[in-house]
Structure 1
């Protein structure tokens, strides 16, 4: 069986540039998670899982420099765990587009009984299979995918702990998911997003202080040069 080390080696074969140290843990955790799911006999990828991977990558990699490396890193994550990055992005995009046209109530109803719509035929069947699969392998990226859909349908709901948890309980019942694990995973995800935002602010403050210091030194240098003329 393919090991975590095999997937890590494959990742660094696909992406050969150094990883920015601030984001290394984010990337390694996502890589290990994707690897463990890829070798699990009960796991089947689906559009909600794809959306969760794409969303968590985009949000937790905010501010990554150099920006142009992000696409290469995402491709390496998918390919090293036997996935196709184009499939991830295409199905995640299709599902998100579908959610954008629905109210929260319509979205919950649709997730409980997915019906094919124009442009979304390829995402319906795997979602229909979720509730019927007694051995469905729930994962944190799947939970993040659900959260992203709810966020798209009703941003205010996401900010209200009570309503959000009630909605997650409803979805867990409809899709036969572990409700407490789902809520715990999403609390951790929200916490990680907040930490990343705080870290980026600290980095920006440090960079800004450095810029001001350089500007001050340059100004002092120019002042001295003017005084000696």
Structure 2
């Protein structure tokens, strides 16, 4: 099988079977005839279409040397024109960059962020945009709000971005720009920008997303939309997801699923953090009791020694 299709094809195919959504009828990935592969006599040649063999980068590692284009296709290492990083390589890259232990309740979040974003990045039609950047910033601000080692948080986020071939500084800048733009507008203004464009760069970027039939939806893009709903003073819910998805011509089902996953994950994280806070409080209480007991014993021994000296 290794000679017929790359690892990314199988990972992506499995991911799409489970999650479905707007990818189900995508032209970006050709179906694989598994029965033919098993027999060893494929009816047609299997071509990996998840490979990126272009040289322009959506988020260059050195912003000063790039242009201002935020929607070009991503860059990956190329071997003979057909190569793409695997999930394992991305995770390995992250582990080399960030060598600090990650608390257990945040470990799963980091791993899922790396895997889901990697799968979106290796799709041929992936395009970086400010909505994606805002989604990443939302995850870092909301899910890592109570991260116990504040001094390591920025390094953690930067390591995640570099492992995904993204520029953390560029993401923060674009997210802040979109955040400011969204706060100054109503939901109707934003929907109109998505449907007709406008006089500013962000309006035209949103419009171009809706007009791009090859657009690749990602979870971070969906969370960026959720954050935009909140910033314009509206509650993120199913009905609003349908309206925004319709304006952008993307799958409302996928957006609603990501909203539901986000809300459930946030609730579980809050419960876990509360549990750990209670455990930490108990440990501190036990430690304080032990120290008090030791101090009491030391005082008693000192009093005994003093009495012996007097006698």
TM tier, smaller: 0.7 to 0.9
Where do residues 1-229 of structure 1 align in structure 2 (5 Å cutoff)? Answer: 1-117=84-200, 121=201, 123-155=202-234, 157-158=235-236, 164-227=237-300, 229=303
TM-score normalised by length of structure 1: 0.88
Q: Give the structure, 1 or 2, with the largest relative contact order (CA under 8 Å, sep 6 or more).
A: 1
Which of the two has higher C-alpha Rg? 2
Q: Deviations over 1:2-51 (max 9, x none)?
A: 11111112112222223223211110110111211221101111111111
Paired residues of 2:193 and 2:207 also in contact (CA < 8 A): no
Paired residues of 2:131 and 2:175 also in contact (CA < 8 A): yes
The 2-side partners of 1:39 and 1:172 are apart by 23
Q: Deviations over 1:43-77 (max 9, x none)?
A: 11111111111211222222223111111111111
The 2-side partners of 1:80 and 1:116 are apart by 35
Paired residues of 2:138 and 2:227 also in contact (CA < 8 A): yes
Give the number of aligned pairs: 219
1:216: how far off? 2.4
Q: Structure 1 residues 114 and 204, CA, compared in 2 at 3 Å: closer, same or farther?
A: farther
Give ranges in structure 1 of 5+ residues lacking alignment.
159-163
User: What residue is the counterpart of 2:62 in the other structure?
Assistant: none
Give ranges in structure 2 of 5+ residues lacking alignment.
1-83, 304-311
